[in-house]
């Protein structure tokens, strides 16, 4: 075995990735459950304990950051292992992406429309209200994955769909990034994309195109760079993965992201996503390199447990359909059982969450798993086809 092979991670299967997806997806569901009752624009609970709980659950956006970096990492792995090219070529890449992402998305869109027409279409003053305004233009825009470009329809049908469109557009750019790596160098190309993406989002911050979230291109590139660092046979990548303190780096940037959340008012934090999100993106990318190289670390072992991996395998389905189901749970708690805000919140969390996860798994079995493409005879297949923001 060569020195390069000895210094590269040996596990093709990285189960902690599924566990990390599961943790991020569960936090998103809990975040949206909290927003059914409170929110920065609708007031927060007054009791000290519940105020702390609500504040702790206020940062679901960070989970989307993790999803984007994870997606870049998963799609960067086969490129790194194939010597810097897209396995199967450009056409195969887009065919795999479309087959993996679009059928569950369209079926979730149909389910959301049916639920709005029958169960959760009433405006109730909750976070779900923005999704109940459905127009023909909004349906067409969501079907074409343009809800991030056409700001007036963002949130229609299902307010979680915005990130699917953002990531779909990143997929369109990924082959260009890979070509740049090959022709102009990994460092130079990545630095250009990351700088341009963050600068572009800052310039668009107060415009109708702010929903493009251009800085997510930077986070996606960070994930892909982490994959190259883990698996590239080049001497620079080998030296970097061996000598850099990846665990400490992840802790430092993770602490920075947490401090920003704790110190900044929510509105100010949200207004500066383009500047703050790369901090959590760097923490996630560094953490992925560390855990890939240290599969026996306690964090990797916890994320690799069977329940965590199981939840992570259908996290894309959970992300797609949990929002209207949360509204149905809110209606049951507040309208059906006449619970107050605090007791209603805990009802949704403790009783509604398991039902939502079960429904998501059933959706996965019928609407996602049939479209999962796996190449079982290759290392790429052992990693599986990653889905969108949740897988």
Q: Which pLDDT score, from 0 to 100, does residue 6 have?
A: 42
* Tens-digit pLDDT profile for residues 24-70: 999 999 999 999 999 877 888 989 999 999 999 999 999 999 999 99
| pLDDT on residue 256 | 95
Residues 232 and 82 sit within 8 Å (Cβ to Cβ): no
Closest Cα to residue 173, out of 153, 159, 192, 154?
192
Q: What pLDDT is recorded for position 5?
A: 40
Q: How far apart are CA 239 and CA 216, in angstroms?
A: 28
Check: CB of residue 22 under 8 Å from CB of residue 311.
yes
10-residue block means of pLDDT along the chain (391 residues)? 43 86 97 93 89 92 95 93 88 92 97 97 94 94 91 87 94 94 91 95 87 93 94 86 95 94 81 90 97 95 97 97 98 96 97 98 96 51 42 39
Global pTM? 0.91
At residue 330, the pLDDT reads 97
* Whether the Cβ atoms of residue 352 and residue 78 lie closer than 8 Å to each other: no
């Amino acid at each position: 075995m060569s020195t390069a092979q000895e210094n590269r991670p040996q596990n093709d299967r990285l189960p902690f990735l599924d566990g990390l997806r599961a943790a991020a997806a569960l936090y998103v569901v809990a975040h949206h459950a909290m927003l059914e009752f409170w929110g920065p624009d609708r007031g927060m609970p007054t009791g000290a304990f519940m105020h702390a709980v609500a504040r702790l659950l206020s940062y679901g956006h960070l989970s989307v950051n993790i999803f984007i970096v994870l997606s870049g990492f998963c799609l960067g792995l086969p490129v790194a292992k194939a010597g810097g090219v897209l396995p199967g070529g450009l056409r195969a890449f887009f065919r795999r992406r479309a087959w993996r992402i679009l059928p569950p998305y369209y079926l979730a869109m149909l389910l959301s429309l049916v639920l709005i027409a029958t169960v959760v279409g009433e405006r109730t003053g909750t976070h779900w209200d923005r999704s109940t305004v459905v127009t023909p233009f909004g349906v067409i825009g969501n079907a074409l994955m343009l809800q991030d470009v056409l700001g007036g329809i963002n949130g229609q049908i299902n307010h979680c769909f915005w990130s699917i469109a953002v990531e779909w557009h990143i997929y369109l750019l990924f082959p260009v990034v890979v070509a740049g790596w090959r022709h102009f160098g990994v460092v130079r190309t990545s630095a250009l994309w990351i700088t341009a993406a963050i600068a572009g989002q800052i310039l668009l911050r107060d415009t109708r195109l702010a929903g493009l979230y251009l800085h997510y291109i930077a986070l996606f590139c960070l994930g892909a760079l982490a994959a190259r660092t883990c698996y590239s046979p080049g001497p620079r990548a080998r030296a970097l993965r061996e000598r850099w303190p990846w665990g400490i780096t992840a802790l430092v940037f993770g602490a920075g992201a947490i401090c920003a959340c704790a110190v900044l008012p929510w509105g100010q934090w949200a207004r500066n996503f383009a500047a703050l999100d790369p901090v959590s993106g760097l923490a996630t990318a560094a953490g992925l390199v560390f855990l890939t190289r240290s599969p026996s670390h306690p964090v990797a072992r916890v994320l690799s447990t069977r329940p965590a991996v199981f939840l992570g395998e259908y996290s894309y389905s959970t992300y797609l359909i949990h929002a209207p189901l949360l509204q149905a749970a809110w209606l049951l708690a507040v309208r059906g059982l006449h619970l107050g805000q605090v007791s209603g919140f805990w009802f949704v969390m403790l009783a509604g969450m398991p039902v939502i996860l079960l429904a998501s798994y059933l959706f996965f079995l019928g609407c996602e798993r049939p479209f999962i493409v796996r190449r079982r005879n290759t290392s790429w297949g052992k990693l599986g086809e990653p889905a969108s923001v949740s897988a």
